[in-house]
Amino acid sequence: MKMAIIDRVFLLLLSVIILFTAFWIFRTHTVLENSGSPTTVVRLFDLNNDLLYNIVTIFSIILLLLSNIFYWRTGNGIYFLWSVFYFMAGIIALAVLENARFYYIKQNGIWNGKFSSGFIVSVYLILIVIIITIIDFFIINYLRKKAMAKRKKYGRFFGKHAGNLN
C-alpha cells in the first residue's frame, strides 16, 4: 500500500511538471504565429525558447533529486527512467522548436545563411543527462545497499521495532 502512495505522489509531481512544460512548449511555438515583424517575432521566440531550456533543465534536476529520494525509499529504479524520459522529451521538443524557428526565418527572408547546431547540441545534452543519471543511480544504489546491510546488522540488537527504510 505504501509503495502505491509513493508511486502516485511521484506520478502526480511528474504530471504537473509535464503539463507546465507542455504549456510552455505550446506557448513558445505559438510565438511563431505572431503577425508582428519577423525580427521581433524571432527575438521573442528566442527569449521564450531560452526560458524553455531553463525550465527543462531545472525540472530535470528536480526530477533527478526526487528520483533519488523515491528510489531510496522504495528501491524502485523506474523513477530514474521517468526523469530521463522527461528530459529527452523536453530536449527533443526544443530541437523541433529550433527547426520551426529555422523554417520561419527562412520563409520570412531573414535567414543569414547559417545553420543551427540545435540537433547536435540536443543529442549531446541527452547523452550527458543519461550518463549523469546512470552514475547517480549507481551511487545511490550503492549507498542504499550499504545502509540496508547496516540496518540488517544492527536490526538484531534493536528488535522488530527498528527504523524502516522501506
Average pLDDT of the chain? Answer: 83
Which residue shows C-alpha cell 505572431?
Answer: 34
C-alpha cell of residue 80: 530514474
The answer, yes or no, to whether residue 76 has pLDDT greater than 60, is yes
pTM higher than 0.95 for the full model? no
The answer, yes or no, to whether residue 166 has pLDDT greater than 60, is no
pLDDT at 164: 54
Contact assessment for residue 4 and residue 12, using Cβ atoms and an 8 Å cutoff: no
From residue 28, how far is each of 47, 56, 79, 87, 116 by CA, in Å? Answer: 9, 13, 28, 17, 18
pLDDT at 101: 83
Q: Could you report the per-residue pLDDT of 101-147, keeping only the tens digit for each?
A: 888 888 877 766 666 666 677 778 778 888 998 999 999 999 999 98
Domain layout of the chain by residue ranges? 2-158
pLDDT at 165: 54
Higher model confidence: residue 2 or residue 67? 67
CA angle 154/157/158 to nearest 5° reads 90
- SS3 label, residue 63: helix
The answer, yes or no, to whether residue 162 has pLDDT greater than 80, is no
The answer, yes or no, to whether residue 160 has pLDDT greater than 80, is no
C-alpha cell of residue 156: 538484531
From residue 76, how far is each of 3, 54, 144, 146 by CA, in Å? Answer: 9, 28, 12, 16
pLDDT at 2: 57
